[in-house]
Amino acid sequence: MELLKNHGGDPFVTDTTMYKGKRYTAMDYYRTAFDHGFLPSYLDCPVIIADGLKDEGVQVNEQVEIAKSIYDSDAMLVVSHATGHSASSFGGAIKNVAMGCVTKSTKKYQHEVTKPIWNPDLCTDCDKCRQICQFDAITEDHELIIENCVGCESCSYVCESGALKSPDDESDKLQKRLAEVAHAVLRNLPYTNCIFVNFLIDITPFCDCAEFTPEYISLDIGVLASNDIVAVDLATIELIGNHKFQGDPTVQVREAHRKGLGVLEYEIVKVRL
Ligand code: SF4
Ligand code: SF4
């Protein structure tokens, strides 16, 4: 904040609402942010939930709606915690832009490809899936109501019998959607001032939505910054090690490059602030 202000900025900290839980509405999210210490008095700047009280966005194509306050800003510093991810293999700047800068409908569009498949022959009727589903997407007989499902995958995590499983090709499909949406966001913002900062610390196998387990896939490495979203994510993946991720983490990076979002090469220059 101090750096941004010293360079003439008037920053705020932001994110967008999610499906259900502690980030479902802007009011839920303000409470969660403040509980986690993201207090204006500590940050020395406001916190603004970018899709506002009523899921407000600017539709830039058939699928993608950018959260209003992000669209209305003059510049964006994208701060991402690099982690593994159960569905997209890797989460960094591309995923943060694709999920973090859009309204709920565009999040749902991306998660369409992660809806689980139910095998009744393996189901033991334990009911855990129905208890955890927040979207009324599982019947009393444990059948999926596919039109209610948002692909959050909570049910397949708790299903011990293997009756609920993620589709085999979900990782590639989700990564391609992430690149598609990140491209639509960055190409339709009415500004070009974007810098991407990836924190390669506390690198967990799953994203920060997942239940925390004190387990890391890498030692702390440092912080990477670039104005190229493709290069910064590729460097992040390669510094952590491609083999540390489930599946191929580079699908999203290569797809984002193919769409013209950045280059697949980089040089790391060490700086001291
Ligand atoms: S993935 Fe499972 S828990 Fe999530 S909405 Fe769909 S049915 Fe419910
Ligand atoms: S969690 Fe799995 S085994 Fe249990 S009821 Fe749901 S589908 Fe069946």
Residues 188 and 228 reside in one and the same domain: yes
| 13 lies in some domain | no
What was the pLDDT predicted at 208?
A: 86
| 272 lies in some domain | no
Q: Does the C-beta of 232 come closer than 6 Å to ligand 1?
A: no
With CA atoms as reference, report the closest residue to 176 among 265, 82, 95, 57. 95
Residues 243 and 142 reside in one and the same domain: no
With CA atoms as reference, report the closest residue to 105 among 175, 170, 55, 60. 55
| 25 lies in some domain | no
Residues 176 and 238 reside in one and the same domain: yes
| 270 lies in some domain | no
Residues 156 and 203 reside in one and the same domain: no
Q: Given 99, 132, 165, which residue is the final one in a domain?
A: 165
Q: Does the C-beta of 45 come closer than 6 Å to ligand 2?
A: no
Q: For the beta carbon of residue 269, count every other beta carbon within 10 angstroms.
A: 6
Distance from the alpha carbon of residue 54 to the mean position of ligand 1, in angstroms: 23
What was the pLDDT predicted at 19?
A: 78
What was the pLDDT predicted at 226?
A: 97
Distance from the alpha carbon of residue 117 to the mean position of ligand 2, in angstroms: 12
* φ and ψ at residue 214, rounded to 5 degrees: -75, 65
- pLDDT of residue 182 exceeding 80: yes
Residues whose CB falls within 8 Å of the CB of residue 247, separated by 6 or more in sequence, listed in order: 89, 171, 172
| 35 lies in some domain | no
- pLDDT of residue 273 exceeding 70: no
Residues 84 and 184 reside in one and the same domain: yes
Q: Does the C-beta of 116 come closer than 6 Å to ligand 1?
A: yes
Residues 143 and 158 reside in one and the same domain: yes
Q: Mean pLDDT lowest for which of 12-16, 161-165, 211-215, 235-239?
A: 211-215
- pLDDT of residue 189 exceeding 70: yes
| 79 lies in some domain | yes
Residues 195 and 252 reside in one and the same domain: yes
| 4 lies in some domain | no
Residues 129 and 62 reside in one and the same domain: no
Looking at the CA of residue 155, tell me the nearest atom of ligand 2: 1
* Helix residue spans in the chain (DSSP H): 2-6, 26-35, 40-43, 68-71, 93-100, 104-111, 128-132, 154-158, 170-188, 229-240, 251-258
Distance from the alpha carbon of residue 164 to the mean position of ligand 1, in angstroms: 10
DSSP code, position 212: P
What domain count does the chain have?
A: 2
Q: Each residue of 84-113: pLDDT tens digit?
A: 998 999 999 999 999 999 999 999 999 999
What was the pLDDT predicted at 210?
A: 76
Burial of 169 (C-beta count, 10 Å sphere; 0-12/13-18/19+): exposed
Ligand nearest to the CA of 134: 1
Question: How many alpha carbons fall within 13 Å on the CB side of residue 207?
Answer: 16
The arithmetic mean of pLDDT across residues 128-136, rounded, is 93
Q: Each residue of 16-28: pLDDT tens digit?
A: 998 778 899 999 9
Q: Each residue of 61-85: pLDDT tens digit?
A: 999 999 999 999 999 999 999 999 9
Q: Does the C-beta of 142 come closer than 6 Å to ligand 1?
A: no
With CA atoms as reference, report the closest residue to 252 among 152, 177, 166. 177
Residues 120 and 155 reside in one and the same domain: yes
Residues 123 and 65 reside in one and the same domain: no
Q: Does the C-beta of 179 come closer than 6 Å to ligand 1?
A: no
Residues 123 and 247 reside in one and the same domain: no
Q: Are 50 and 82 in contact (CB under 8 A)?
A: no
Q: Does the C-beta of 144 come closer than 6 Å to ligand 2?
A: no
Instruction: Report how far residue 130's alpha carbon sits from residue 55's, in angstroms, rounded to the nearest whole number.
Output: 27
How many residues appear in the chain? 273
| 9 lies in some domain | no
CATH number assigned to the domain comprising residue 138: 3.30.70.20
Pocket probe mutation, ligand 1, options 150, 170, 174, max atoms within 8 Å of Cβ = 150
Q: Does the C-beta of 193 come closer than 6 Å to ligand 2?
A: no
Residue 208: domain span: 50-110+169-258
Instruction: Report how far residue 119's alpha carbon sits from residue 104's, in angstroms, rounded to the nearest whole number.
Output: 29
- The residue whose CA has the least distance to atom 2 of ligand 1 is 155
Q: What is the percentage of the chain residues whose pLDDT exceeds 90?
A: 89
Question: What average pLDDT does the chain have?
Answer: 95
Q: Does the C-beta of 91 come closer than 6 Å to ligand 1?
A: no
- pLDDT of residue 146 exceeding 70: yes
What was the pLDDT predicted at 145?
A: 94
Distance from the alpha carbon of residue 161 to the mean position of ligand 2, in angstroms: 7
Residues 137 and 252 reside in one and the same domain: no
- pLDDT of residue 178 exceeding 70: yes
Looking at the CA of residue 151, tell me the nearest atom of ligand 1: 1
The arithmetic mean of pLDDT across residues 219-231, rounded, is 97
Q: b vs e for 181-216, b when ≥16 Cβ sit within 10 Å of the residue's Cβ?
A: bbbbbbeebeeeebbbebbbeebbbbbebbeeeeee
